[in-house]
Structure 1
Amino acid sequence: MSNSDLSILRPRFSRRQLLKGMALGAGAVLAGGGLSACTSSRTMAPATTTDGTLENKLNIYSWGDYDDPGVLSRFSERNDIRVNVDSYGSNEELIAKLSASRGTSGYDIVVPSSYMVPQMVEHELLQPLNRDLLPNLSFVDDRFRHLSIDPDNTYAVCKCFGTTGFVYDTRAISGNPTSWADFVELAQGQASGKVAVLEDAWEVCAIALGARNEDLNTQDPRVLEECRELVVEGIAPHVKAYVGNAATAMSQGGFTLMQAFNGDARQGILNADDPDRWKFVFPTPTANLWYDVWCIARGAAHPDAAHAFLNDILTEENVLAEVDYIGYSTGARFLHEKDMSETFDRSDLIFPEDDILNRLVECVHDKTMGTRVEILSAAQTRSGT
Structure 2
Amino acid sequence: MTKSQFRVLAPRISRRQLLRGMILGSGLLFSNALQGCTAERRMAPATSTDGQLENKLNIYSWGDYDDPEVLADFGQRFGVKVHVDSYGSNEELIAKLAASRGTSGYDIVVPSSYMLPQMVEHDLLQPLNHDLLPNLNLIAPRFRHLSVDKNNDYSICKCFGTTGFIYDSLSIQGSPTSWQDFVELAQGEASGKVALLEDAWEVVAIALGAKNQDLNTTDPGVLKQCRDLVVDGLAPHVKAYIGNAATAMSQGGFVLMHAFNGDARQGILNAKDPDRWKFVFPTPTANLWYDVWCIARGAPHPDAAHAFLNDILTPDNVLSEVDYIGYSTGAAILHNHPSQDQPETADFELPELIFPDEQILNRLVECVHDETMSTRVDIFSAAQTRSGT
Q: Which amino acid aligns with 2:49?
A: T
Distance 1:108 1:133, change over 3 A: same
How many angstroms apart in 1 are the aligned matches of 2:253 and 2:139?
Answer: 41
How many angstroms apart in 2 are the aligned matches of 1:224 and 1:239?
Answer: 20
Identity of aligned residues (%): 76
Q: Is the 8 A contact 1:35 1:119 kept in 2?
A: no
Q: Any gaps of 5 or more consecutive residues in structure 1?
A: 1-9
Q: Which position in structure 2 is the counterpart of 1:4?
A: none
Matches within 5 A, 1:87-126: 87-126=86-125
Q: Which position in structure 1 is the counterpart of 2:205?
A: 206
Of the candidates 339, 357, 370, which is equivalent to residue 353 of structure 1? 357
How many angstroms apart in 2 are the aligned matches of 1:131 and 1:42?
Answer: 30
Distance 1:248 1:98, change over 3 A: same
Of the candidates 363, 369, 372, which is equivalent to residue 368 of structure 1? 372
Q: Does 1:45 align with 2:44?
A: yes
Q: Which amino acid aligns with 2:258?
A: Q
Q: Is the 8 A contact 2:338 2:355 kept in 1?
A: no
Q: Is the 8 A contact 1:201 1:373 kept in 2?
A: yes
Runs of 4+ in structure 1 off by over 3 angstroms are: none
- What is the DSSP-based 3-state SS (H/G/I as helix, E as strand, rest coil) of the residue aligned with 2:241? strand
How many angstroms apart in 1 are the aligned matches of 2:372 and 2:54?
Answer: 44
How many angstroms apart in 2 are the aligned matches of 1:340 and 1:15?
Answer: 25
Of the candidates 357, 377, 382, which is equivalent to residue 378 of structure 1? 382
CA drift at 1:382:
0.4
Q: Which amino acid aligns with 1:359?
A: R
Matches within 5 A, 1:177-326: 177-326=176-325
- What is the DSSP-based 3-state SS (H/G/I as helix, E as strand, rest coil) of the residue aligned with 1:16? helix
Q: Which position in structure 2 is the counterpart of 1:174?
A: 173
Across the aligned residues of Structure 1 and Structure 2, the Cα RMSD in angstroms comes to 1.2
CA drift at 1:336:
1.6
Q: Residues 154-195 of structure 1, C-alpha deviation per residue, up to 9 Å, x if partnerless?
A: 000000000000000000000110000000000000100000
CA drift at 1:24:
1.5
Q: Is the 8 A contact 2:261 2:354 kept in 1?
A: yes
Q: Which amino acid aligns with 1:154?
A: D
TM-score of the pair, normalised by structure 1: 0.96
Q: Which position in structure 1 is the counterpart of 2:19?
A: 19
Q: Which amino acid aligns with 2:142?
A: R
Distance 1:339 1:296, change over 3 A: closer
Q: Which amino acid aligns with 2:153?
A: T
How many angstroms apart in 1 are the aligned matches of 2:246 and 2:40?
Answer: 44
Q: Is the 8 A contact 2:164 2:281 kept in 1?
A: yes
Q: Residues 332-353 of structure 1, C-alpha deviation per residue, up to 9 Å, x if partnerless?
A: 0011223542221110000001
CA drift at 1:366:
0.5
Q: Which position in structure 1 is the counterpart of 2:6?
A: none
Q: Any gaps of 5 or more consecutive residues in structure 2?
A: 1-9, 341-345
- What is the DSSP-based 3-state SS (H/G/I as helix, E as strand, rest coil) of the residue aligned with 1:192? coil
TM-score of the pair, normalised by structure 2: 0.95
Bigger drift between 185-194 and 341-350 goes to: 341-350
